[in-house]
Amino acid sequence: MNRLSAILPVSQVLVDVDATSKKRVFEAAGLLFENQHAIARATVTDNLFARERLGSTGLGHGVAIPHGRIKGLKHPLAAVIRLSHPIPFDAPDDEPVNLLIFLLVPEAATQSHLEILSEIAEMLSNRELRERLRTEADAVEVHGLIERWRPLKSVA
């Protein structure tokens, strides 16, 4: 198992989401976390935008890892949203983004937060896997691709 799949239920993988901007996709993530975990959507979107103001969470190659710290959260949470059409995201390569992996962590999280982000970045650096995640039509299969992926260093 990898750190992402441990915090990513299949119900939090959405494909072909129709969002036309960073604001709209952050709102979609806020709604998802509100419905699944009773975290106010405004809390989610405010924290995602606060982090985004520090610098884009776009990695390049059409992917981004928006993340934020949530006061009162007990454990990290993740969601995957794949858009039906790529959106501008201020990524280093200026490519629009259509695959977003959202990560919410407790306010005090430090090392585990960084380890999860590092694993997600490692996973997304695999070109073949990244392209399959960006194109697979079925949310269950997208989840399965993530679940089956193994990092170079195993989880301790």
The residues that are catalytic are 67
Q: How far apart are CA 153 and CA 9, in angstroms?
A: 23
Q: How far apart are CA 36 and CA 14, in angstroms?
A: 13
Q: How far apart are CA 112 and CA 97, in angstroms?
A: 26
Q: How far apart are CA 11 and CA 145, in angstroms?
A: 15
Distances (CA, A) of 112 to 20, 60, 76, 105: 32, 23, 9, 9
- Token code pair at residue 108: 């005090």
